[in-house]
Amino acid sequence: MVLFGTIVNGLAIVVGALIGVRLKHFSPSMQETVMKGIGLAVLVLGFSMALEGTNMLYVIISLAIGSVIGERISIEGKLNELGGYMERKWKRNENDRLSEGFVAATLLYVVGAMAIIGALDSGFRQDHSVLLTKSMLDGFSAIIFSATLGIGVLFSAIPVVLYQGSIALAATLIIQWIPEELLQLFIAELTAVGGVMIIGIATNLLGITSIRVANMLPAIPVIIFLVLLQSSFF
């Protein structure tokens, strides 16, 4: 089921928000330990994905070119600007905690490389491991957010399901037009590039680095181009 990971992700947010509304105390040390534990799991997932590639040179080239493009157009900066705009637009007043919770949680869950990579993985390979891992992260953070910002966090599950579900369904349509041999190569290299970005997310979660992973997202179309180029001329 192509939407399995997306549905689980949405349910994790709903359950986490319901728990958080009732749970008023969550110590900072507990938050840190749980997030670091999940970060380690994300790191292992990233390495397992990165090793699925068959041509590491393509992965390096795509990440290098993609990072240059991402930095030039400042994807992460524009996403942050979008977040600020949404917060200003939807927050009616300083005491409007419902809209604040909805906006803050939506930006956390939707704006990021993990949502895109996970949805593509679900669509291309029917592999939901990235989105299931993301579900753990989102579910736990929903507890923290809703304990502070209220029930508005729960409603962020709706845009998450719509956004990730649309990407996953689009990916299933794309693969119908790709020959089987090319599809396997395409999936392997795309998984490897996504895995490297997942490693970046993990090291950020662990506090080791502060990588602008969103600025690496153009590496995805670059690796697609390189694979198509190889299939056409080699």
pLDDT tens track, the chain, 234 positions: 899 999 999 999 999 999 988 876 667 787 788 878 888 988 998 899 899 888 899 999 999 999 999 999 998 888 777 766 766 666 555 555 667 677 778 777 886 778 989 999 999 889 999 999 999 999 998 998 888 778 888 988 999 999 999 999 999 988 888 787 788 888 889 889 988 988 998 898 899 998 888 899 899 899 989 998 887 766
pLDDT at 92: 55
Q: What is the pLDDT of residue 35?
A: 79
For 119, the domain range is 4-233
Distance CA 5, CA 165 (A): 9
Which tokens belong to 96? 């409007």
What percent of the chain has a predicted confidence (pLDDT) above 70?
Answer: 89
In this predicted structure, what is the pLDDT of residue 234?
Answer: 61
> Residues 30, 34, 35, CA angle at the centre, nearest 5°?
115
Give me the number of domains the chain comprises: 1
Rounded to two decimals, the pTM is 0.78
Distance CA 225, CA 165 (A): 24
Residue 97's pLDDT is: 61
The string over 118-155, giving b where at least 16 C-beta atoms fall within 10 Å of a residue's C-beta and e elsewhere, is: bbbbbbbbebbebbbbbbbbbbbbbbbbbbebbebbbb
Query: Which of 142, 136, 135, 137 minimizes the C-alpha distance to 156?
Result: 142
* Joined tokens for residue 185: 């190569």
Q: Please give the pLDDT value at position 38.
A: 81
The pLDDT of residue 179 is 82
Q: What is the pLDDT of residues 172-219, one digit of tens each?
A: 988 888 787 788 888 889 889 988 988 998 898 899 998 888 899 899
